[in-house]
A and B are shown apart, each in its own frame.
Chain A
């Protein structure tokens, strides 16, 4: 079964600083990878997805992620953090193209300090 590991359950940055949230995946086949954001007491919103078209994926709200097969990583970055970025972020992998199951990492809570 495929899985993802998010390194760091909590990440704290200052406003304007670089945001880096780490995600490593385990897969025996080319994966479909996703980053979702969840604000308190809300559902999940898709930030971006990797489906093999391009290794550098740009998403909403200035976020981007780079797929690195050699490192089995799909880290999420944003050049300059904003207070509104404070939320929980989940990396997810599609179990297989035909199965449709999303398997989520444990999540990383991002705190942004003024």
Chain B
């Protein structure tokens, strides 16, 4: 299985809602990533988990809360988002965070719209 899956595919939420994005991989990868991609822009790194521990937080607002329950799962909890948070949220995984193993495999993304 060489696939990264993400659910849901689309999500519409109000600014007072709480929702979660889910990402799963079964490739035995020990690094997992969340990226945010605005329209017509490249992906921007948000968080990196390495061996189930938060390794990198790119100064992301606290209304985004990542969680890594186990080595195969990565969640992104959303609360009190703003309309400017509407974007495609991409999950990726790699064998390891370091070196040449940093070949990242991406999921299809969750298209988030905040009303």
A-side interface residues toward B, CB under 8 Å? 32, 34, 36, 41-46, 49, 51, 90, 94, 97-102, 104-107
B109-A34 in contact (CB<8A): no
Give the residue of B98, B105, B107 whose beta carbon is less than 8 angstroms from that of A46.
B105
A41-B111 in contact (CB<8A): yes
Query: Chain A at the B interface: mostly helix, strand, loop or mixed?
Result: loop
Contacts of B81 in A (CB 8 A): none
Contacts of B61 in A (CB 8 A): none
Count chain B residues whose beta carbon lies closer than 8 angstroms to a beta carbon of A: 31
Contacts of A99 in B (CB 8 A): 56, 97
B98-A98 in contact (CB<8A): yes
Nearest CB on B from A33, distance (A) = 11
Contacts of A42 in B (CB 8 A): 108-109
- Pairs of residues from A and B, 4 with the lowest C-beta to C-beta distance, nearest first: A104-B42, A100-B97, A43-B106, A51-B100
Q: Which residue of A lies closest to B99 (CB)?
A: A97
> Is B43 an interface residue, CB under 8 A from the partner?
yes
**A32-B102, A43-B4 are known contacts; what are 5 more A-B pairs with Cβ within 8 Å?**
A43-B108, A44-B92, A46-B104, A97-B99, A100-B102
Contact with A along B52-91 (1 / 0, CB 8 A): 0001101000000000000000000000000000000010
Q: Which residue of B lies closest to A98 (CB)?
A: B98
